[in-house]
Amino acid sequence: MTEVNVSSHAFDQAIRLVPTEPNQFRGHTSEPYANMVGPFGGITAATLLNAVLQHPESIGEPVSLTVNFAGPIETGEFTIEAVPVRTNRSTQHWTLQLRQNGMVATTATVFCAMRRETWSEQELKAPSAPAPESLEQLPTEGRRGWISNYDFRFVSGSYDPARPYESASSRSLLWIRDDPRRALNFPALTAIGDSFFPRLFTRRQQFVPIGTVSLTLYFHTDSAQLRQIGDDYLLAEAVANQTRNNYFDQSAHLWSRDGQLLLSTTQIVYYKE
Domain with residue 142: its CATH number is 2.40.160.210
Residue 51 included in any domain: yes
Average pLDDT over residues 13-23: 98
Residue 127 included in any domain: no
Residue 164: what pLDDT?
A: 65
Q: CA-CA distance, 222 to 189, in Å (whole number)?
A: 11
Residue 126 included in any domain: no
Residue 174 included in any domain: yes
Domain that holds residue 223: 6-114+135-271
How do strand 91-100 and strand 77-87 relate by DSSP bridges? Answer: antiparallel
Residue 201 included in any domain: yes
Q: CA-CA distance, 252 to 190, in Å (whole number)?
A: 12
Residue 147 included in any domain: yes
Number of domains in the chain: 1
Residue 160: what pLDDT?
A: 81
Give the tens place of pLDDT for each residue, 236-273. Answer: 999 999 999 999 999 999 999 999 999 999 999 999 98
Closest CA to 190 of 72, 62, 89, 75: 62
Residue 1 included in any domain: no
Residue 124 included in any domain: no
Q: CA-CA distance, 202 to 196, in Å (whole number)?
A: 10
